[in-house]
Structure 1
Amino acid sequence: MWQSPNKLAELSLKNIQKRLDINPELQKLISNTIWLFCERGLHLLLALFIGVLLARYLGTEQFGIYNFAAAFLGMFSPFTQLGLNGILTRDIVKKPEIKDEILGTAFLLRLFGALLTLVIALIFIRFLRPNDLNVQLLILFLLIGNFFDPFQIIDFWFESKVLSKYVVIANSSALLIFYGLNLTLVLIKAPLITFAITLAIKPLINSIFLVVAYQYCKNKLLNWKFNFVQAKILLSQSWLLIISSFGAVIYLKIDQIMLAQMTTVASVGIYSVAVRLSEVWYFIPTAIVASLFPSLVKIREQEREIYYTKLQKIYDLLVYTALVLAIPITFLGTPVIKLLYGNAYEEAGLILSIHIWASVFIFMRALLSKWLIVENMFIFSFVTHASGAVINILLNFILIPQLGGVGAAIATVLAYATASYFALFFHPKTWEMACMMTKALLAPIRNIRNGNVH
C-alpha cells in the first residue's frame, strides 16, 4: 500500500527512536541542543563575514573606536542584567505556577537597571575620554538600545521549558536583519556612527521577535505583574552575582579599555579582530549547558551520584571541544588573519594564537557558573571573578607597555585560568569542581596513553 514520503519519514523516525530507546525527555534535549547550535552556527558565519567586511572597510583606527565603544558598554552590563540570568531559569523550573510574577518583576528590575546604566556610563565616559566626542556619541546610541534588553528575559522561560527552537527562530530572524543592515551600510560607504545606530536597534529587533514567539506559545505579556516581595527575593539572591558580574566583565573587557588608554585605538582594532575570532566559539559551551541545565536541576533533587557523574562527563566534553578548536588555531592564527582581514591586521595573528587558549577555561566556566547557581554558592562566583579581574588588571599594567596586544592576550588567558580553575582550589566547597576540571584537562592525555584515541 502506497504511503506518502512524510508518513514514511515519520514511521522511520519512530522506528529509530524505538531501536535506540530514546525517551521523549532525551529527544527533547537533543532537539533543543541542535536548535541552539544551528542558531549560533548561523551567527558565527554571519558575524565572521560581516566582521571581516567591517574591519576592512573601517580600517584599524575606526574599527578600534567601534570596538572600544562596545567593550566600554559591556563593562556596565551587570547594571542591566542584575545577575538574574541563571536565577530566572532555575526559579521558573522550580515554580512554573508563578512564572508571570517572576518574569514581570525581572522585567521592571532590568528596565530600572538600563536607566541606571545610562546615567553611570555617560558620567564615566566623560571622565575617561573627555575630548573624544565620537566615542561619547557612539556610546550614547548603544545605551539607548539597552532599554530594549529587558525583553531578553523571555529567553529564560524558553530555556526553562527546553524549547530553544522558538528562541533560535526569533534570534536568527533578528540577526539576518541586523547583518543585512550592516552589509548595506558597508556597500553604501556609510559613516561610523551609522554602524553604532544599527548596533543600538539590534535589541529592539530581537525583542520584537521574542515577544511574537512568546505569545505564539500561548503566553501573554499583559499577564506579567510586578511583585515587590518577589523583587526582594530576586535581588537578595542576585546581588552577589551582580558584583561578581563586574569582576567577569572587567577581565573580559578591560583589556580593550586599557589598550586604548595605554596605546592607541588602532591597536584596539587589531586586538579586537583576534578576540572576535577567539570568542566567536563561545556559543558552543553556552548551547550545551543551556540545554542540560534544567535537567541538571531536576537530577540534583533526586540522584546526587548521577548528578555529579553527568557534571564530569560534561566537563570532559567541554575540554575536548575547546582543544579541538585551540590546537589548530594556534598554528593557523596568522595565515587566517592575513587571508580574512589583510596585511593591515597581521599583528592580530599572534594575539589570536595566544588568546584562543582562554577558550579551555571559558568552556569549563559555562558549566561552573550554572553549578554555583544550582548550589546557591553565589559568593564563590564573586570571589572567582574578582580574582580574575585583579590578575588581569595587574598583568595588563605590566605587559601592555612592553608587548601591546600580545601582552593583553597573555594577561587575559592567565586571568581566565585563575577565575575559572585555579581559584577553586582554595576552598573546600569548590575543591570538588577543581578536581573534576583537573580530570577533564587530563582526560585527553590519559586516553592517548591508554590507546583510546585513534
Structure 2
Amino acid sequence: MNSNVKNSLFLILEKVVLLGLSFFNSVLLARIAGPAFFGDFSYIVSFAALFSPLCIMGLNNVVTKYVVKHPKNSHYYIKSALLIRLFGAIFSVLVTTIICLYFLDIADEKSKLIILLVAMQGFTFLYVLEFFYIAKKQVATLVRVRLTIITIINIVKLFAILKSASLQNLVILQGLECVFIGCCYYVIYISQGNHKSIKRRTGLSSSLALYKKGQWLLLSGVAAALYLKIDQIMLAQLVNTEAVAYYAAAAKLSEFWYVFPVLIANVYTAQLSHSRFKAYHTYKSTLQQLIVVLTLIALLLSLFIWLLSQPLITLVYGESYQASGAILSIHIFASIFIFQRAVLSKWLIIEKLYKYSLVSNVAGAVINVLLNLVLIPKYHGIGAAWATLISYMVASYGFLFINYKTRSYIKILHQSMLNSPFILMKLAQNLKVHYEKHYKKTN
C-alpha cells in the first residue's frame, strides 16, 4: 500500500474517532439542554466560524506547495505564514468586537461569548504547522497530539453537559481545543529543530510576498465561511435561535461527512503538485479517480440518509426535533457538491487559478444570502436548506461555465462521470494487485 493511501486511511481513522466524540456531545447537548439552549450555542459557534478564515489567510495549501517545492527553505515559508496568520487572528478579534459593539448588543451574553470564542479560535493560526507535516508525509507526528487533546476536551464536555453547565463554560471548552492544539503543534515543531533549517532570512517583505500568493484564497475563504455558516446566523436574526437548533441538528448529521473528502484531497496534494508538470497523464488520471470515488460515495450517502431522514432524526435527537427531518432530507444532497469541491479546490490551486476560487465562493455566498432572505421568513429551516443546496451547486459547479480556463475542469469532470465504470474497474484491479503483493510478503 503506497504512502498516500496509508496517510489517507490514518487521517480518516483519526477523524472518525474525533468526529464521533464531538457528534456524541452535540447530540447529548441537544437532547439534555433542549432546542433553545442548543440553538444559542450553535448560533455562537456559527458566528465565530465566520472569522476563522482570517486565522488561515488562504495559506494552508500554498504552504504545502512551497514546502514540497523548496524543502531546504521550509521554515522560511512556515515562519512567514505564521506571522501573516497571527496578524489575521488579531484582526479577527478586532472586527468581531466592532460588529458586536455597533450591530449587536454588546451587553448581551451571546455577544460577549462570540468575542471570547473568536479570541480563543485565533490560536488556529498555528495550525499551519500541520501542513508542513502533511508535505513531509509525517502526519502521524501530530495525530496522536490531536487525538489526545480532543478526546480529553470532549470527555470534559460530556461531564459538563451532564452537569447542566452554563453556556459560558461550554463555549470556553470549545475554544480551549484550539488553544491547546495550536500550542502543542508549535512545541513539537520547535522541539524537533525544524526552525533551524532556515536558509533564507524572513522579514516583512517576505511575509507580504507570501500573503499576496494567498490573498485570493483568503477572500475565497471568507466568502466560503459566509455561505457555509450564514444560514444559522440569518435564522437567528430572521426567526429565532430555536429555529437555529432544528436546522443545526439536521446540518450536523449532514456536515459530519464533509471533512472526509477534504482529508483525502489534502493527502494527494503533494502527488498532484509533482505530477502536474512532470507527468500530466498521471495528474489527470489521479484527478478523475478522486472525482469518481468521492462523487459515488456522496451519492450513495445522500440517498441512504434521504430515505431514513425522519426516523434518523427522531432516533438521534428525540421527538422534540422532528422538524429537523425535512431539513435533513434536503440538506444532505449538498454533500455531492461538497465532495466534488474538495478536488476542485486542489485543481484551482495547482493551476494557479486562485481568483476563481474566490469567484466561486462569492457566487455561492451571494446566492445563499439572497435565497435565505426570500425563503427563511416563510419556510424557516427548510428554506435555509434549499438555499444551502442551491448555493453549494453554484459554488462547486455552476461558476465553472463563466471562463474558458475553468471550463477545462468541466471536461475533466464530465469525462470522469462518463468513464466512471472503467475508472472504478481500474482502481479495483490496482487494489487487487496491491493486496496480492502484500499477501505474498506476509506469507
Q: 1:425 maps to what in 2?
A: 401
**Is the Cα contact below 8 Å between 2:75 and 2:197 reproduced in 1?**
no
**Is the Cα contact below 8 Å between 1:65 and 1:265 reproduced in 2?**
yes
CA distance in 1 between counterparts of 2:413 and 2:89 reads 36
Deviation at 1:297, TM superposition (A): 0.5
Q: Would you say 1:79 and 2:40 are equivalent positions?
A: no
TM-score (norm 2): 0.91
Say if 1:447 and 1:205 are closer, same or farther in 2 by CA, change over 3 A.
Answer: closer
**Is the Cα contact below 8 Å between 2:120 and 2:178 reproduced in 1?**
yes
Of residues 120, 123, 130, the one that matches 1:148 is 123
CA distance in 2 between counterparts of 1:368 and 1:166 reads 28
Deviation at 1:446, TM superposition (A): 9.8
Q: 2:228 maps to what in 1?
A: 252
Write the mapping of 1:331-350 to structure 2, written as runs, cut at 5 A.
Answer: 331-350=307-326
Q: Would you say 1:91 and 2:66 are equivalent positions?
A: yes
Q: 1:303 maps to what in 2?
A: 279
Q: 1:396 maps to what in 2?
A: 372
CA distance in 1 between counterparts of 2:333 and 2:11 reads 24
What's the CA shift string for 1:130-187, capped at 9, x where partnerless?
2661211211220221332121111010111122222221211121011011012012
SS at match of 2:194: coil
CA distance in 1 between counterparts of 2:423 and 2:303 reads 17
Say if 1:381 and 1:447 are closer, same or farther in 2 by CA, change over 3 A.
Answer: closer
Write the mapping of 1:57-136 to structure 2, written as runs, cut at 5 A.
Answer: 57-130=32-105, 133-136=108-111
Deviation at 1:225, TM superposition (A): 7.0
Deviation at 1:82, TM superposition (A): 0.8
Q: Would you say 1:183 and 2:158 are equivalent positions?
A: yes
Q: Would you say 1:210 and 2:181 are equivalent positions?
A: no
Of residues 308, 327, 332, the one that matches 1:356 is 332
Q: 2:15 maps to what in 1?
A: 40
SS at match of 1:281: coil
CA distance in 2 between counterparts of 1:127 and 1:406 reads 31
**Is the Cα contact below 8 Å between 2:84 and 2:211 reproduced in 1?**
no
Say if 1:131 and 1:97 are closer, same or farther in 2 by CA, change over 3 A.
Answer: closer
Q: Could you tell me which amino acid in structure 2 is paired with residue 32 of structure 1?
A: N
CA distance in 1 between counterparts of 2:286 and 2:50 reads 33
Deviates more, 1:235-244 or 1:259-268: 235-244
Q: Could you tell me which amino acid in structure 2 is paired with residue 171 of structure 1?
A: R
**Is the Cα contact below 8 Å between 1:104 and 1:226 reproduced in 2?**
yes
Q: Could you tell me which amino acid in structure 1 is paired with residue 127 of structure 2?
A: Q
CA distance in 1 between counterparts of 2:59 and 2:397 reads 23
**Is the Cα contact below 8 Å between 2:292 and 2:423 reproduced in 1?**
no
**Is the Cα contact below 8 Å between 1:364 and 1:437 reproduced in 2?**
no
Deviation at 1:313, TM superposition (A): 1.1
Deviation at 1:44, TM superposition (A): 2.2
What's the CA shift string for 1:411-438, capped at 9, x where partnerless?
1010000011111022111112123333
Deviation at 1:48, TM superposition (A): 1.9
**Is the Cα contact below 8 Å between 1:76 and 1:117 reproduced in 2?**
yes
SS at match of 2:352: coil
Deviates more, 1:432-441 or 1:50-59: 432-441
Deviates more, 1:50-59 or 1:131-140: 131-140
SS at match of 1:376: coil
Deviation at 1:217, TM superposition (A): 4.8
Deviation at 1:325, TM superposition (A): 1.1
Deviation at 1:226, TM superposition (A): 3.9
Deviation at 1:75, TM superposition (A): 1.2
Q: Would you say 1:267 and 2:243 are equivalent positions?
A: yes
TM-score (norm 1): 0.89
**Is the Cα contact below 8 Å between 1:320 and 1:444 reproduced in 2?**
no
Deviation at 1:442, TM superposition (A): 5.6
Deviation at 1:440, TM superposition (A): 4.3
Note the residue ranges of structure 2 that are not aligned, 5 or more in a row: 429-443
Q: 1:158 maps to what in 2?
A: 133
**Is the Cα contact below 8 Å between 1:358 and 1:413 reproduced in 2?**
yes
Deviation at 1:289, TM superposition (A): 0.6
Say if 1:165 and 1:324 are closer, same or farther in 2 by CA, change over 3 A.
Answer: farther
Deviates more, 1:211-220 or 1:184-193: 211-220
What's the CA shift string for 1:379-413, capped at 9, x where partnerless?
11111111111111111111111110001000101
Identity %: 33
Q: Could you tell me which amino acid in structure 2 is paired with residue 333 of structure 1?
A: S
CA distance in 2 between counterparts of 1:83 and 1:329 reads 33
What's the CA shift string for 1:184-234, capped at 9, x where partnerless?
201222111100010111112212432354356553489797422321221
Deviates more, 1:241-250 or 1:310-319: 241-250
Deviation at 1:443, TM superposition (A): 6.1
Deviates more, 1:88-97 or 1:223-232: 223-232
Q: Could you tell me which amino acid in structure 2 is paired with residue 110 of structure 1?
A: R
**Is the Cα contact below 8 Å between 2:51 and 2:118 reproduced in 1?**
no
**Is the Cα contact below 8 Å between 2:73 and 2:197 reproduced in 1?**
no
Say if 1:300 and 1:108 are closer, same or farther in 2 by CA, change over 3 A.
Answer: same
Q: 1:18 maps to what in 2?
A: none
Of residues 28, 33, 56, the one that matches 1:53 is 28
SS at match of 2:257: helix
